[in-house]
Each structure stands twice: as structure tokens, then as C-alpha cells.
Structure 1
């Protein structure tokens, strides 16, 4: 697998908070942020999978209503 570089600009308060969270886990800030992004991606893929399973197992009467995109808390991603 190849790797790419992503550069972020953030204020010092946010960086300090991320650094503190990462240090509690013995991680670098970079590793902590990457892990958070991977976890969020997994959560999103899991939610999509759950919705697809619910549509698959729904009765025919419910399938029409379930086909419209589900609204997730916090708005679209």
C-alpha cells in the first residue's frame, strides 16, 4: 500500500487538545488523527451496511419507504 501526505493547519488550542489525547494513549498526534479518521470511516460503512440489511429484510410494504435516503443525525456527510 502506498502512502500520501496530508498537511493540516489548525489552531494551537486544537493541536494541544489532540496532543493531550494522543499522549494518554502513547501515540503521536499524527497516529491519533489517522486512527480517528479510520474509525469514522468504519462507523459510516457499518451504518450503511446496517441500513442495507434492514432494507433487504423489510417487508415489501416497508421497502418503498426505506429506499429514500435515511437522514443521519448531524446532517449529510
Structure 2
């Protein structure tokens, strides 16, 4: 199982580095490249550079809130039965 864990860890690291590199290039370097350059066709419009992380954060916080709420409800039900 150890080699499987290493493979999953490697894939997660590679995916994270790829996303970080893409986003960094998109947000920091691309605004300084001419707008008619061919590299612009590989990136979404600049507005999405803020919209996507904000939406991802809202979704993550929503899931965490629901999870914590469900755990608290289950904990409260267990205390009532004992």
C-alpha cells in the first residue's frame, strides 16, 4: 500500500504545482504580455482570475459549515439518548 500512497501523493503534488504555475502565469505575467499575443488564447479572461477562487472558497466554506453542523447535530442526538 505504501507505493500506492506515494503515487497518489506524487499525482496530487504534480496537480497542485501545475495549477499554481498556470494561475501564477495567468494573474501575474499575462497582464504584461501584449493582448494580441498567441498565448492569450490558452487563458480565460482576466475577470475569472478572481471569480473562480472566490466561488471555490464559498463552496468550500459551505461544505465545511454543513459538515460541522451535521456533526454537532449527531453529537447532540447521542447525548440525549444516553
Q: Structure 2-normalised TM-score?
A: 0.42
Q: Counting helix residues as a fraction of each chain, which structure ranks higher?
A: 2
Larger relative CO (CA 8 A, sep 6+): 1 or 2? 2
Tell me which structure has the larger Cα radius of gyration: 2
